[in-house]
Chains A and B, each alone.
Chain A
């Protein structure tokens, strides 16, 4: 099996608190995985360990052939292959949409200005925001900002994309436009790990759903598993969610 992301017995502690207690996980190229679970179950932490925003205490993490657990790894090499989108968008407020998107290609990949501009146009077209290329983030709605954040990540042509509750800060009527963009990416063959509370998205779009509980992968299966949970914990979680 050709895993693009592979975690082996990953342990992560914050001080005394063990947040990940032996997470093992393989994600294949082109696979879309939805990660669900209660608040505090370690979903964000697991995601952040994958591109080493957090350092793990033991276990191994391989991403696109990079040994993430290896302290000698060049993070900039890893992060060219891994895109990440946050709940709070985190666009750069002092830069226009175009500048937000072209910053990394220009600085990291030394893409010439004109070429970077067409890269931005292309990425914005994919998220349906071509007309906002010269706007500033504060002039956009939350949903539009989040789509720009996705475009910014796409412009680096990542092999894997991580999404951490990217619609949680949005009004329900703005959630749909972001989910649609993500669905498009999924159909386009992007490898995606999506931490989400959107059960509809998990059911419809994800190839696989992972239910995390108390720092462990508790239950995993295709989207249909949400209709027939095996463990009482998942049953409780789904009941509480309704």
Chain B
């Protein structure tokens, strides 16, 4: 049994950095995919809406860990070898696409239908209506739940440790295996997760409050 040194701290911090990288990747990829899901879920075609709902329900009903196994081991079997970071990022993209798609669909549908009608009556195309009229109004209410969701994603990146990606959780496991000081090591890891999540949670709650207060009544 060795003693806990500065090198261990640095190793943990490095793991935390990879956790942040993975979360950022999930945000970018998941955001793009989630936007796509939102567009499909609000499509005028019933078949498209149904098909995308199926996707959402399938993903929402599957543990993230299973998604990770499918992407990492499953694709490996058919000859597509993804490095652990990429496998984790793709899994999180798939996972986030379903949840973000539904969160954003709710926000888009919260914009009154009359806004869309007014815009359509001005001869705007479907995409112009979406980008110029609906999304700016939906975005205001979408920020708090989106930030809230990414607090969850940040914590869920710990699952990427099972495919051997050395993020914060895996890093603390590695250290603990050599030092066997679980309270100290995992306690520290927990504190680092908290330090990353807490500001996000605070920010999300503040945005939510501001939104509720800031909703002025029309004159």
Within 8 A of B (CB), among A55-70: none
Distance in angstroms between the alpha carbons of A104 and B133 in the assembled complex: 11
Question: Using Cβ atoms and an 8 Å threshold, which residues of chain B touch A108?
Answer: 122-124, 128
Question: Using Cβ atoms and an 8 Å threshold, which residues of chain B touch A145?
Answer: 218-219
Q: Which stretch (A19-27, A133-141, A188-196) binds chain B?
A: A133-141
Q: Which chain A residue lies CB-closest to B132?
A: A103
Query: Is B132 in contact with A83, judged by CB distance below 8 angstroms?
Result: no
B118 lies within 8 A of chain A by Cβ = yes
Given contacts A88-B114, A93-B137, A145-B218, contact A53 B121 (CB under 8 A): yes
Given contacts A86-B114, A90-B114, contact A153 B122 (CB under 8 A): yes
A94 lies within 8 A of chain B by Cβ = yes
Candidates B114, B117, B122; contact of A104 at CB < 8 Å: B122
Question: Using Cβ atoms and an 8 Å threshold, which residues of chain B touch A77?
Answer: 123
A33 lies within 8 A of chain B by Cβ = no
Nearest-neighbour CB distance to chain A for B74, whole angstroms, equals 44
Nearest-neighbour CB distance to chain A for B91, whole angstroms, equals 36
Count residues on chain B whose CB falls below 8 Å from chain A CBs.
Answer: 21
Query: What 0/1 readout, one digit per residue, does chain B (105-139) give for beta carbons within 8 Å of chain A?
Result: 00000000011011111111100100011001100
Count class of interface residues, chain A: 20 to 34
A-B pair number, CB within 8 angstroms = 70
Candidates B114, B118, B120, B219; contact of A75 at CB < 8 Å: B120
Query: What 0/1 readout, one digit per residue, does chain A (87-117) give for beta carbons within 8 Å of chain B?
Result: 0101111100000000110011000000000
Residue from A75, A79, A92, A145 with most neighbouring chain B CB atoms (10 Å): A92
Residue from B121, B128, B217 with most neighbouring chain A CB atoms (10 Å): B121
Nearest-neighbour CB distance to chain A for B140, whole angstroms, equals 8
A151 lies within 8 A of chain B by Cβ = no
Q: Nearest 5 A-B pairs (CB), nearest first? A: A90-B118, A104-B122, A79-B123, A84-B121, A76-B123
A-B contact pairs, 23 of them (CB 8 A): A76-B123, A77-B123, A79-B123, A82-B121, A84-B121, A86-B117, A88-B114, A90-B117, A90-B118, A91-B118, A92-B118, A103-B122, A103-B124, A103-B133, A104-B123, A107-B132, A138-B216, A138-B217, A138-B218, A138-B219, A145-B218, A152-B122, A156-B123
